[in-house]
Amino acid sequence: MLKNLIFLLPVLLTVGCAAQLQLKPDTGESVTLHLFETQNSSHAYGHLAIFQDDYDCYGFSKMGTRASEMPAVKVIPTAGRKFLTVEVNYVGMSFQHPESCLWSVTFPIQSGDKYKIGIGNNSSVCSIEVFRLTKDQESQVPVRLTKRESTKPIIDGQGPWCVKDSAYLGSSSLLRPREQ
């Protein structure tokens, strides 16, 4: 029995990682993200991930980007979403030992709006700042961020990557939102 389980574990992990997520049809609703890097003191490899479902940080969007590709502009479909959850991740070396940070936040969005998102790291501390650009783009308004408690998925590589929060239930790009 144990031998069969050990054999099946890699197969189950592969199936979980390879599952194609079914997304809601594109309605034309979207937000525009202007991504930039504020600092990278440890010259680490940085990445910004965008989740498909805000309830428990599930499903990586293909709209994520590496810090080395910033500044960048991404248009994110938002049908059925009132929030957006992003994850900042930096991995690097400092004085011969790994330096890394991982930080996820959720913030309110409104379809049609534009946001500036700055990410960075100061050795082992990640930072993120989000501003909503005014319609004339002359000024920017700070957006309230909610830090999410991280978790690690057991089998499925798509998540969940943070602890469930009912405040974000239903805010999802998935055809069938999580826990519904």
Where do the structural domains in the chain lie, given as residue ranges? Answer: 2-168
Considering only 26-30, 37-41, 58-62, which range has the smallest mean pLDDT? 37-41
Residues 6+ apart with CB under 8 A from 58: 51, 52, 158, 159, 160, 161, 174, 178
- If phi > 0 it is left, if psi is from -120 to 50 it is alpha, else beta; for residue 24 that is beta
**For residues 15 and 113, what is the distance between their CA atoms, to the nearest angstrom?**
37
Q: What confidence category does residue 139 fall into, taking pLDDT thresholds of 50, 70 and 90? A: confident
Pairing of strands 97-108, 83-94: antiparallel
**Residue 33: per-residue pLDDT:** 95
Binning pLDDT at 50, 70 and 90, where does residue 31 land? Answer: very high
| Mean pLDDT of the 119-146 span | 87
Identify the pLDDT of residue 1: 44
Cβ(65)–Cβ(74) under 8 Å? yes
Residue 19 — pLDDT band, cuts 50, 70, 90?
Answer: low
**Residue-level pLDDT at 100:** 80
- Integer angstrom CA distances of residue 107 from 47, 133, 171: 18, 14, 11
Q: If you average pLDDT over every residue of the chain, what do you get?
A: 84
One-letter identity of residue 119: I
Q: Please list the residues that pair with 101 across neighbouring strands.
A: 90
Kindly state the DSSP code that residue 138 receives in the 8-state scheme: S
| Amino acid (one-letter) located at 168 | Y
CA 90, CA 75: separation in Å to the nearest integer? 23
Q: Is the pLDDT of residue 124 over 80?
A: no
